[in-house]
Amino acid sequence: MENQCTTVSLVDELENIDEIITEIPNLGKPTVPSPLQKRSYPCFVRDEDRVLLLASSQRVAASCKKGSLPAFELAGPRENIYFDPSKTKCAIVTCGGLCPGINDVIRSIVMALFHGYGVRTILGIKFGLRGFIPSYGLDVMELTPESVARIHEYGGTILGSSRGPQPAEEIVNALERMNVSVLFTIGGDGTFRASRKIVEEIKKRGLKISVIAVPKTIDNDIFLVEKTFGFDTAVEMACEAIKSAHTEAIGAPNGIGLVKLMGRYSGFIAAAATIALREVNYCLIPESDFDLEGEKGLLRELEKRLDQRGHAVIVAAEGAGQKFFADQPKETDASGNVKLGDIGKFLKEKIQEYFVSIGKELTIKYIDPSYIIRSVPANVDDSLYCGNLGQNAVHAAMAGKTDMMVSLWNDRYVHIPLESATMHRKQVNLKSMFWMSVLESTGQPSLKNE
């Protein structure tokens, strides 16, 4: 079934603040003194410590007039925790596509549990949620500081991953059999929806199992997350591909370098790489419609660009221009996502056909670095970010929080209910300074004929 997540721009999502839930469920009253107290830990926070949902002065003023200032719970260690570390068993599962930094998050969770709280039993669930299902016959992996010591140096996930739904009832059965008290789920929107179903099944059975999510998607499209981990690394690697495309373009008469990047519904990687490198002439993203034919269409604009400059670089997010595939039968992957038409190959063929038709010489080089980008290790910035996400996920879990994700919001780590996190999908706002920077960098006009 197709993913039913609605889409909103960054402006729209924050105008509808009344629908955003901020309160985090607790399994019970935390009465166990945190082991961190013995170290005279100076950074304890309280549930009352909050981070405003809206930070800009105009919107804060509007919220004040309504008599409310919505705010998220501040992440961090609590003085008293819910779980007794000596009797707590935790599990970690990674789901969905690969992304730089997954191993960093796993490592951070294990280190924080073991060294910070003294939890000695940490299980890694193999190959996503199917690792819980007995019929797959997958073993669990015992995670220790020694076994995760160097995993951050490698891309991918040591636990493996998979797509597709699994019955929540069977997953909770497995959690009960293994006597797991805390489940950490690392994934994107589909994983969050599965996590919510797991929480519902746990509640139905009256169990005390915490479910904490860490947002993972290379597309940076998760609602109420400033930036997902792996995004910086993806942009950095995308820039390397664009540099190669630019080199190819200027190295031949009427050269065009065409690069396809990740971004099914949101063009953040393509847009950010365009701004970072400033060698891109046309940035095509799902949020911004464009035409091929006509005086203002991409093909005619390319012709004018080559007449003036002799080369061009095009960056296209994978979800751009999907209207051109409207007549194709719709297929879905195991997670229910619609399989997209290949905009990169489509553009290459159409550009070649057009220049043949007008009798002009053309050299076009097409680069698709998607699987290389998503499989590399995290860079330093992402690695640091992953470490903080993992640690704060552990602090939340040990305090008895559940049904939530850890997020970076207004430059602070916060707790956000999964119900709020799955309301919408984040997209590039075409009225934002971010997109204006893209247009200023590329100089591209509107590619629509209206």
DSSP string for residues in 225-252: -S--TTHHHHHHHHHHHHHHHHHHHHTS
For residue 271, give the DSSP letter: H
Residues 251 and 236 in one domain: yes
Both tokens of 409, joined, read 């919001």
The single-letter DSSP state of residue 282 is: E
The CA–CA distances, whole Å, from 214 to 55, 187, 241 equal 23, 7, 29
Q: Are 343 and 327 in contact (CB under 8 A)?
A: no
Q: Are residues 238 and 364 in the same domain?
A: yes
Read off the CATH number of the domain in which 57 is found. 3.40.50.450
Please give the Cα distance from 163 to 335 (Å, whole number): 5
Q: Is residue 442 part of a domain?
A: no
Same domain flag for 242 and 94: no
219 has catalytic annotation: yes
Beta strands 6-9 and 424-427: pairing type?
parallel
Burial class, 25, CB count within 10 angstroms (exposed 0-12 / middle 13-18 / buried 19+): middle
87 and 22 in a common domain: yes
Residue of 104, 189, 219, 232 with catalytic role: 219
Q: Are 239 and 144 members of one domain?
A: no
Q: Is 263 left (phi over 0), alpha (psi -120 to 50) or beta?
A: left
* Residue 199 to residue 176: CA distance in whole angstroms: 13
Q: Are residues 178 and 119 in the same domain?
A: yes
> What pTM value is reported for the model?
0.93
Q: Is residue 98 part of a domain?
A: yes
Range of the domain at 290: 232-375
Per residue of the chain (450 residues), give pLDDT as tens.
334 444 444 444 455 666 889 999 999 999 999 999 887 778 899 999 999 888 654 555 555 445 567 899 999 999 999 999 999 999 999 999 999 999 999 999 999 999 999 999 999 999 999 999 999 999 999 999 999 999 999 999 999 999 888 999 999 999 999 999 999 999 999 999 999 999 999 999 999 999 999 999 999 999 999 999 999 999 999 999 999 999 999 999 999 999 999 999 999 999 999 999 999 999 999 999 999 999 999 999 999 999 999 999 999 999 999 999 998 888 877 667 778 999 999 999 999 999 999 999 999 999 999 999 999 999 999 999 999 999 999 999 999 999 999 999 999 999 999 999 999 999 999 999 999 999 999 999 999 998
Q: What token pair was written down for 413?
A: 């780590």
The DSSP bridge partners found for residue 260 are 316
Phi-psi category of residue 230: left, alpha or beta, with phi > 0 → left and psi -120 to 50 → alpha: left
Rounded to whole angstroms, how far apart are CA atoms 188 and 173?
A: 23
